[in-house]
Structure formats: C-alpha cells, structure tokens
Structure 1
Amino acid sequence: MTDTIRLTVAQALVRFLGAQYSERDGVSRKLFAGCFGIFGHGNVAGIGQALLEAELTDPDLLPYVLGRNEQAMVHSAAAYTRMRDRLQTWAVSTSVGPGATNMVTGAALATINRLPVLLLPADTFADRSASPLLQELELPGSGDVTVNDCFRPVSRYFDRVWRPEQLPAAMLAAMRVLTDPAETGAVTVCFPQDVQAQAHDWPLELFADRVWHVARPLPERARLAEAAAVIRSARRPVVVAGGGVHYSGATAALAAFCEATGIPVGQSQAGKGTLPFDHPQCLGAIGSTGTTAANAIARDADVVIGIGTRYSDFTTASRTAFQGDGVRFVNVNVAGLDVVKHSGVPVVADARETLEGLRAALAGWRADPDYIEEYRRLDAEWAATVDAAYHPAVPAAGAGGLLTQGEVIGMVNELTDPRDVVVCAAGSMPGDLHKLWQTRDPKGYHVEYGYSCMGYEVAGGVGVAMACPDRDVVVMVGDGSYLMMATELVTAVQEHVKVITVLVQNHGYASIGALSEELGSQRFGTRYRYRGEDGRLDGERLPVDLAANAASLGVRVLPARTPDEFAAALREAKAAEESVVVHVETDPLVPAPDSRSWWDVPVAEVASLESTQRARKTYDQNKATQRPFLQPSDRPTEVTE
C-alpha cells in the first residue's frame, strides 16, 4: 500500500514546488527560488496559509516575497530567470479577479521572451455553491469560463485544477514546459479558491525530489554539413547573435567560432553581451537600433547565420537590413518556429553544441582578409561616434545646459564595474543603450525588448538583483515608464535588495515623442503638460516631483543636474549598501547617433497635415526596400513513387 499524507491542495502544491530541481550539464539547482505573492480573498486561506506553514516549518522550501503589484511580480520573476539562463525561476500567487488579470501583461512578456515563470492565479468556486461571487465573470452563454481564461493565449501551458486528484497531472505538465528550452514561457495553473482549501490523501512519492533535465539538442549531421557548406561559400558572412546564445551558455563557443573563422557578429537586444564590445569580431547592435558598422555589414551580407534569434522586426530592421542579392540564411535555434524563418538552412539544435560542430566542420576556412579589414574599420568609426556621444565637445550639450541621454549613458557605462548590470525595457532608452552601451560582461546588459513593457524596469531590476546579489544593478528608466510602475522600490527596501535607479526626467514620452515627430504627428499627446485655454495639452509643464515620490517610497534620492553632480551621485550610489535613486533631468530633443536603419510604423496614406504628407513619402520609400526572404531552397528533393 502506498504511504500517504493528508494535506490541502495548496499545502501539497507548495511541497511539490519546493521539491523540483532543474539539471543541465550535470549541475542541478532548485527550480523555484521562491514565490512572489499578493493575498486576497481568493488565495489568502489557501496558498497563503500553505506558504505560512512552510515558512514556519521549512523556511528554505519555498521562500515567500510580498510584492506591490501583480504585473510587477511577474516581471521580477522573468528578470530573475533570464539572469539564471532559464534554469531557475519563481512562482507567482495572486487572488481571483483583478489580482489575477493584472498578471496577464507579465504573462505575455514572459511568453514572448520565452522565459519560464509559473503563475498561480486563484479562481472562482469549483462547486459554484455561492455563485455569483465577488469579481466573478458571468457569461450568459458559458458557465465554465472565468476571467483567468484570458491567460490562455499568452501562456505556453494553461490548466485549471478543478479537483484535488488533478493536481499531480497538472503540475507535472507544468514542470515539463517550464524546463523545455524550446517550449518554455509563462505557465498558468489556476486554483479555484475552494479547491485550494480541500484536503486529500496524497502519495508521499509526489513530494520526493524530482530533477528535470534541461536538454541540449544536438544538430543533425546532415544539417550541420549543409550549414557548413553554405558558410564556406560565403564571401561576406555575418552572425546575428540572439538571446539563445546566452541561455545555452554559448558565449565562449561563439567567441571561439568567430576567432577561428573571422566572421563578424551583430547582436540583437537579447543577444547583446554575447561578445564583449571590444572583441575583434563584435560589431555591436544590429537592426533598427543598431550600430552603423553592423548595419553596413548586414546590408551587403551574402550569408546570415542566425544563432538563438527569433528575427524580430527590430533585428531585421523590418526586413530591410539584409539587401544582398541572393542572401542566404543559416538558422540555429532550439525552437522549430525560428529555424524556418527567411527560408534558411534549419538547424534545430542547442547553440553551444552547434557552434562547436560548425567550428570543427569549417576547420581551415577563414573569411577574406579584406572583408575583415573592412568591418574592423567600420567598427572603429562607430567607436569614435560613441565616444563623441559620451563626451560631446561641449559638456551638458542639451538646451539650458541639460545633460543629453547619451552623456548619461556614457557616464553610467564608464563609472560602473564590468560585472554590473544595466536594466531597461521601454522608451527611448533601450534603443540608445542597444547602440551605445559598451557591454563588458555576458550578463552585464539586461534590456527587455521582446515586449518592451513600460514599468518593467524597477521590477525587473529587483529580480536581477535577487538573481545576482554580487553585482550592482543599475536601472535606467525614463519618467514615463517610472510612473507606470515604481512601486517595487518598496519591495527592494523590504528585501534589502540594492538597486541603483537612474531616473531620467524629460517631462513626457521621449521615445514616442520622437517617433511621432518622425511620422508627421508633431509629438501629439507625448508631453506632460497642463491643458491650455484652447483645450489642448500644450500648456506649462506639470510640476511633478519624481524625486520626492521616490523618497516617499523609502529609498535614498540623489538629485543631479551637471556632469560633475551626476558623476558624484553615481559614485555615492555605488558605495551605498541600500537602494538609491539618482534623479537627473535631460534634454529629450537631442537624439542618439543615427543607426542608418528603419523600423516599419505605418503613416496615414491621406492627411491634411503637411508634416504627415512628408512622412508618408519617406515611409513609401523605405517600404519599397522591404524583402520577403522567401528564396526557393536549392536543396535536392527526393521524390518517392
């Protein structure tokens, strides 16, 4: 007879999660570092009670952290797992109703970025004994739909535990997806509030330590040979390195491959740091927010080797980056969805294993010396451009002696340590960081740009700091994104997690303001202004004091205006032991250096505004350069009668 223990569903859930481990390359670690949670009537007496029991009897089983915003908790969990190469993550528990649906944005972010996060929203009563409940969705045409069903399209796995007996199957399926490098993303398992509290006799083996192997799929020999043959035929090859290089721990393999072959590397947002900025083959950012060096090489490339990238529109400059006649693609990814993009040679495999295989297959082959000299010259020219942005001829080059965003980025880059981490997500800052930030450590750059979610920055910074307590974490955030979600500064104070937040005040949405102007919409609706007598939002600036706001959340605030004040504030923040906000006002009208690239944002075809008419002409010119990358395969086809 199987030994059993009587526990509630919630108690069993907590015990199960605390016994899960991930393993890769023979190294194992706890899969769940803990559980973020905000309690309401849907989970306080279920999962909340179970977490309390665990804290009192086994504090290391599943440590609990109180968050301030449900979406922010998911962001912190996503940032943590990204820093841990998706081998460790957090669970997130919320109440039913708005507490649950507040997580939907975070779920979308995790799934789009392919980051494993376990979401545990409470749900309405399974027995329907008290329906309709507070916060229950009532649909006249369906009795089994709750608000949590909106998680389905943004989750890689979705389930609902209607009965205690369903828990083992649901959680084993959830673990499978969380530890699958190709299928991972947000996993949502809903728990009706009455089911959480139900007791059941569980087999003890359910709570035994369970190790989930994270696979390294090997490349097929035929595909590896085909990819090597295509690369050998290239005269102007380029690598596009994505986040998959990081997640597979392939940065050393990438460096060895590029050093052996002389092939240069352009980096997506997620792939930045795959080579240090001063590596001889590193051309830095590629695409709409890329460097002029990487984009010039991409424009004439004849073979593009995508490694761990999903080829987002920013990476391909909306499919205008690669203009070479007959350009071919070699795509290496664990996800089948990505290897078929642009009709490339599909290598469904781990990045590290494939790079090592390709290096062996290409032994003796190296890019033409003239090509190597060309891209190194272009890279040196871009390095001079970055230096000019960091150190303009006239310091504080913005209007009224304000710092420019380029100067702020430059000082943060130069005054932080190589292993420190910069965090960002939305606004003008990510694009400027992508092209200007000189990454010195593989984990030194953390910009969420799959979903580019405003409000991610502070919450993400907390997750990064929890994942790597031996590094300083610098959150770069504009006032628009800060106002979306600054509340996790309180969580940082609560947990004694040090985060340095550089809060850039530019009185509005700098990124969308610049885009609006470029597209002929005259920065409409992007400035923080009083409403004028004519009814438009074009009056005086709002007297918003974000420094005072940050101080009210319990962090130390260091205001800075001049270069010397800003540098002194950064040094003071680095020396501090607790979280610090450095507040600086910049001139949003001074742009970063141009990438000489494009991003497809449609402009009105007809308009009475002359500014929009001009923008449409420019749009049509750029649109004409888009390419479908649908070349027919030259692979021989075997026909069987």
Structure 2
Amino acid sequence: MAERTIRLTMAQALLRFLDRQYVSIDGSETKFVKGVMGIFGHGNVTGIGEALERSAGGLTFVQGKNEQGMVHAATAFAKQNGRRQIFACTSSIGPGALNMVTAAATATVNRIPVLLLPGDNFASRQPDPVLQQLEMNWDYTISACDPFKAVSKYWDRIVRPEQLMTAAVNAIRTLVDPAETGAVTLALPQDVQAEAYEYPLAFFERTVHAIDRRPPSAEAVRRAARLIEGKKRPLLIAGGGALYSAATDRLAAFAEAFGIPVAETQAGKGALPWNHPLNVGAIGVTGSLAANRLAREADLIIGVGTRYSDFTTSSKSAFARPDAAFVNLNANGADAAKLGALAMTCDAREGLAALGEALAAAGYRSGYEAAELADLKRRWESEVDRLHTLEHEDGLAQTRALGIVNGTIDPSAIVVCAAGSLPGDMHRLWRASGPRTYHMEYGFSCMGYEVSGAFGAALADPDKEVYAVVGDGSYLMLHSELITSLQEGRKITVLLFANGGFQCIHHLQREHGSDGFGNEFRYRSADTERLTGAYMDIDYAAHARSLGAKAYKAETAEQLKEALLLAKRETVSTLIEIRVVPGTNSGGYDSWWHVGVPEVSSSDAVEAAHRNMKERLRAVRRP
C-alpha cells in the first residue's frame, strides 16, 4: 500500500510540522510552538513569509522591529513559560540573519529554547552572488548563517526539501531537552524554501514529546548522603534549574527539614520568597553579606540547577575553606561535575526528593543554630532597608529608586533586567515574592535584552504587570520592541534609570586604577579633545511619547512613586524616565571579581590594582 503524502513547499511543511508539536511534563500537555516572530526580506518573504500568510495553521505571527530584539523577546517568552513553549524567529539572509546571532548566544548561555529560521543563499547558486551574500573564495559554502554554529546547540542547512524531515525532528529533540536546550538554527536557502516535495502525512501527525524527569541513580544518592552526613555547615545554592524543574516546594522542604540556608543565583532568585527564614539572599559578586559569609565558612555547597558562573562563585574565591566539598544536582552532566563536585545528574526536583529521603533516614541535621541564621538575615535585611531609603544630596540614589519601585508595584508583577549596575542592585536588594516574578538575563548580560524581554514576558503572562528595569545605555542600544508591544496591545512599563552613561563599567574602571574613560555620555571637550565635557541632555520621555507610548519623568522619591501609580493605570506601554545620581549603586559585601588588570602602566594606581589582583588570586580555587 502506497504511503499517503501531501505536496507542500519546504516552508509550508516546516510550519505544518511545528504546529503539531506538543510537550508533556508531569502529564500536562502544552502546545510547544506558539508562533513565529519575523522580519521579512528577499531571503524569506516569498518562502516562509508566503507560507505564514497562506498556511500558518494555528501559529501566531508577530512582526519584529529588530532581529536581535525579536529573538530576545522569544527567549524571554520561553523563559517566562518555564521552557514549555517557544516562538520561532525568521529573518532574511545577510544582515537580518547576523542580527540574530547575539540573541542566539544569549539564549544558549541561559539554557533557553529558541528556534531560528534565517534565510540563506540560493542552494542552486543560479543568482550568484545574490544580494547580501558573503563570498568567501576559500570556502564558497560559507554564508551569514555559519556564525550561528558557534552559538547554537543544533545547526543544520536545508539544501533539499526532503532533508527537512530529519532536521526538524533533531531541532525539536534539542529544544525540548532540559540538559541540551538553547538556540537551534535551521538555515533555509531561499530557493529551497519554495521547492515542493511529496511529504508523508505521518510527518505531520500530532506529536507529544514527554519531558521525563530524570531520577538520580541510587548509588549517586548514597554517595551524596554519606558526604553530607559528615558536614555541619552546608549551604544550598538555588540556580535557574530549581525554577525550570518546578522544584521550589521541594527546595523549601529540603532546607527546612535539615536546617540548611539557601542562597540564590541571578537565575534562581525567587526560588524561595525573600522573607523565608532560610533565604539568605544573593550569592557571589552581586551577593548579600549574609550569603557570602556563609559561603566563606561553608564546608559543603549543594548546588541545585546552577552552572556556577564566575559571578556566582566570585571567580572561585567565595568558598574559602580548604575542606569545602560540593554536591551538584543538575540535568546537565557538565554542570553537575563543576568544581570537582560529587555529581548527581538528575532533575532537580527528583534529586532533592531522593536525597531528602536518604538524609532523613540517617537523621541528618546541619550544625547551624537557628539564632545564628536569623541574626545574619536580620542584619542583611537592615542593610537592604538602609539602601532602600538612602538619601543623597545630589538627587535620587539608584538604590532608593529601586526600593520605591519594589515597595510600590504589585508583588506578583514581573521585573525584567539584564545588564549594567542594575542587575547587581536587583540581585542584592530586590525582594522577590516568589517564582517567575524576577526575570533576569545575566548568563550573557546582554545589553538591550530588557525592553524586548519585557515584551516577551508580557506575551507569556498577559495578566500580570511587566516592568523593564533598564539603564539609559541599554535602552539606547535596543528598544525597538517597545513599538511591537504597542502594536500587539501587550502593555509593558519601562523603568529607565538615566545616569548618564555606561556607569557600571565606568565604576569598574575606577575600581582598578583608571580615572574613568569613554563610558559616560558627555560632549567632547575642546580643551582635552576627549569625552569629558558636560553630560548630554537626552529626553527619553519625549522619545517614548514619539513612538506612541505614555511617559513620565521622576527626579525625586515622591515623583517616582506618583509616576508608578499613574503608569499602573495606563492601558498602553509606558516609560518612566528616572534620573538617578551616577555611582549610587551598591557594591562589595565580601565578594571579588577577577578582571585582568595591566601589569605595566604609567598609572601607579593601575599597577597597585594589578598587585592586589595577584594577591587575591592566591586564595582562589583551581582550576
């Protein structure tokens, strides 16, 4: 009996396939691909563009305004959905494709699924070189899609229409894998997009991908329990995996059962409410004094779903005890093995349950006194209160502005942030009420994610207020999806902290001996011929209004609170321009970050900073 087929173009077949993919977690099914975000050009408009127009099925099309921005929005959408639903993103060849590379890396570093469908050069090479085609004479197969290989978890080029069937299955397999997910790229030559093939109907059957929770091996649990039983000062570190695996209840129960304090990474913040007695706050370079002191004294670190970035480990200086051991619960084997840990390669929720049973059977309890942890937490919360109410003679301090925002908006609102000094202040000082209210992209710290990410979060959670917390530097770098939020009727509120430049890096320079160079938004001085003149006066509120958004300005605490209340009543996307004093961010708290400092300089301060760096390196863990 002949196999039943249907004649479709490759682009039409791809959309039909994507429209039929579902994921199942704990018996709950979700349509995996919500839709496609796109910007059309000659490389995709008559292929996948025509297919979206005529045969999109149940896929929603969202028009991006910048290719990088729309991929950030798709990444944020998937992150806010706990990686259970995605958007695909399509662009033309050349600049359109390359614009997506930075955002692809952002998704991959953060372990967030996003499907990229850039147009590519003609496979037939009949029009050669086609508009926007790269010509590499030493390798003529290279195109603007090849850079995606460096930032994708799976990459393929569809040079024949029937090749789609293998490539699409591999793409979905990678996207739904909790251990291997990230950006997936299918390069689509523009002629092949429009070529037809007799595809078997079986290719388009409704497919449910079961994302099974991987349990730890019994032996791994026994090894970990034996190690933990001999330790008295353990510290739990909650990473993003604790949230993606919906392990927050198990994490709380585990911590409470054994009296173990919990510190949070940027991706894991919100795993426990800020006021939970065992939540000691942020860990690492942007960490709290409570968490960092406990890390320094800990004889055991239990990492739950963390990849141990250098910010989490303070460049491997956070864990000072020579006898400190590590137990890591992670779906990704490479992450589980970091820092020479006893690796439990497993789903975080399943791993905590199994390990908890073993420790309970052994009658384990940490050696902390409740009063010690309570005192550390009380002292840190007192410091947060101080910074939230800090007065500054020159105007509004950044930490106070954040305190006003934190105390005024709804606790269930979503705050989105990514780069600059704001992530440090947010990590230390933001009081998150629970999971998925704190949406931070800090794996790649990608400037420009904030506004796009807020739009993506609003698509994922339309019933919640969504705030983009962004510096003026990041806003100027990428804000185009603010227009898309207006177009789609998905309100976001942009909280634009205007401090006159890239002040985070300006501060980093000055910490390491520099007088500050090239990081503030100043006019060029006629005297020095450098950018040392007056600050540029940029009216961000007027700019937002010109796009169709509502806008307010705030220079005082009272104005900011009033603007937040007014913005909440608005029905369209709104921007609040918040003027804050440069350099009024938080810092320190028993942390260190390793940056390369010149060994030779005409500045004594720089050479002193180099000597200090060398001294600090004596105490770090290796490798």
TM-score in terms of structure 1 length: 0.95
Q: Deviations over 1:22-77 (max 9, x none)?
A: 1111111111111000000000001010011135xx4xx11100010001111111
Partner of 1:568: 562
Alignment match, 2:129:
132
Corresponding residue for residue 47 of structure 1: 48
Equivalence for 1:321:
318
CA–CA distance in structure 1, aligned partners of residues 566 and 185 of structure 2: 42
Residue number among 264, 269, 272 corresponding to 2:266 in the alignment:
269
For structure 2, the 5+ residue unaligned runs are none
- Once the two structures are TM-superposed, the CA of residue 621 in structure 1 deviates from its matched residue by 2.5
Q: Which residue of 2 aligns with 1:585?
A: 579
Range 615-624 or range 80-89, more displaced: 615-624
Query: Is the Cα–Cα contact under 8 Å of residues 123 and 192 in structure 1 kept in the other structure?
Result: yes
Specify the alignment match of 1:343 in structure 2.
Answer: 340
Q: Deviations over 1:165-216 (max 9, x none)?
A: 1011000010100011111110000100000111111111211111111121
Please give the alpha-carbon distance, in whole angstroms, between the structure 2 residues aligned to 1:553 and 1:215. 45
Report the count of equivalent residues. 620
The separation in 1 between residues aligned to 2:224 and 2:368, in whole angstroms, is: 23
1:143 corresponds to which residue? 140
Q: Does 1:235 align with 2:232?
A: yes
Tell whether 2:30 aligns with 1:33: no
Structure 1 residues 28 and 213 mapped into 2: Cα distance closer, same or farther (>3 Å)?
same
Asked if 2 retains the 8 angstrom alpha-carbon contact of 1:389 and 1:593, the reply is no
Q: State the Cα RMSD in Å.
A: 1.2
Q: Confirm whether residue 411 of structure 1 aligns to residue 404 of structure 2.
A: yes
Q: Is contact 1:385–1:593 with CA below 8 Å preserved after alignment?
A: no
1:102 to 99, 119, 122: 99
Measured at CA, do residues 398 and 621 of structure 1 come closer, stay the same or move farther in structure 2, by a change above 3 Å?
farther
Which of 430, 433, 441 matches 2:426? 433
Give aligned-pair identity as a percent.
46
Matched, 1:513 2:511: no
Instruction: Render the CA deviation track for 1:457-482: whole Å, top value 9, x for unaligned.
Output: 00000001111111111111000000
CA deviation vs aligned residue, 1:427-485 (integer Å, no higher than 9, x gap): 00001100000110211101100000000000000001111111111111000000000
In 1, Cα distance between the equivalents of 2:601 and 2:294? 37
Question: Residues of 2 paired with 1:521 and 1:40: CA distance?
Answer: 45
Which of these residues, 219, 222, 247, is aligned with residue 222 of structure 1?
219
- In the alignment, the residues of structure 2 paired with residue 355 and residue 504 of structure 1 have an alpha-carbon distance, to the nearest angstrom, of 39
Structure 2 distance, partners of 1:323, 1:261, is 23
**How far apart are the structure 2 equivalents of 1:353 and 1:624?**
38
Shift of 1:143: 2.0
Conserved in 1, the CA contact under 8 Å of 2:549 and 2:574?
Answer: yes
SS at match of 1:180: coil
Following superposition, the deviation at residue 142 of structure 1 comes to 1.3
- SS where residue 559 of structure 2 aligns? helix
Answering whether residue 279 of structure 2 is matched by residue 282 of structure 1, we say yes
Q: Distance in 1 between matches of 2:456 and 2:519?
A: 30
Match of 1:546 among 535, 540, 545: 540
Q: Deviations over 1:266-303 (max 9, x none)?
A: 11100101111111110110000000000000001001
Of 157, 165, 170 in structure 2, the residue corresponding to residue 168 of structure 1 is 165
- In the alignment, the residues of structure 2 paired with residue 591 and residue 89 of structure 1 have an alpha-carbon distance, to the nearest angstrom, of 35
CA contact (8 A) 1:178 1:184 kept: yes
The gaps in structure 1 that reach 5 residues or longer are: 630-641
**Alpha-carbon shift at residue 379 of structure 1 (Å):** 1.2
Q: Distance in 1 between matches of 2:296 and 2:161?
A: 58
What residue number does 1:634 align with? none
2:196 is aligned to: 199
| Aligned-partner residue type, residue 453 of structure 2 | G
C-alpha separation between the residues in 2 aligned to 1:398 and 1:358? 52
Q: Is the 8 A contact 1:236 1:367 kept in 2?
A: no
Q: Give the residue type in structure 2 aligned to 1:422.
A: V
Structure 1 residue 361 and structure 2 residue 334: aligned? no
Equivalent of 1:526, from 496, 519, 522?
Answer: 519
Q: Which moved more, 1:97-106 or 1:6-15?
A: 6-15
- 155-164 vs 524-533, which moves further: 524-533
Q: Which residue of 2 aligns with 1:484?
A: 477
Cα distance in structure 2, aligned partners of 1:539 and 1:370: 55
**Within 2, Cα distance between the matches of 1:215 and 1:429?**
37
Question: How far apart are residue 514 of structure 1 and its match?
Answer: 0.6
Q: Which amino acid aligns with 1:419?
A: S
Mapped contact 1:398–1:590 kept (Cα < 8 A): no
List per-residue Cα deviations over 1:573-609 (Å, max 9, x = no partner): 1222221101110001223153220011111111111
Q: Is the 8 A contact 1:398 1:586 kept in 2?
A: no
Moved segments of 4+, more than 3 Å: 364-372
Is contact 1:36–1:92 with CA below 8 Å preserved after alignment? Answer: yes
What is the CA distance between 1:368 and its match in structure 2? 4.5
Report what 1:182 is aligned to: 179
Range moving further from structure 2, 368-377 or 179-188: 368-377
Provide the C-alpha distance between the structure 1 equivalents of 2:536 and 2:406, rounded to a whole number of angstroms. 31
Q: Quick check: 1:16 aligned with 2:13?
A: no
SS in 2 for 1:514: helix
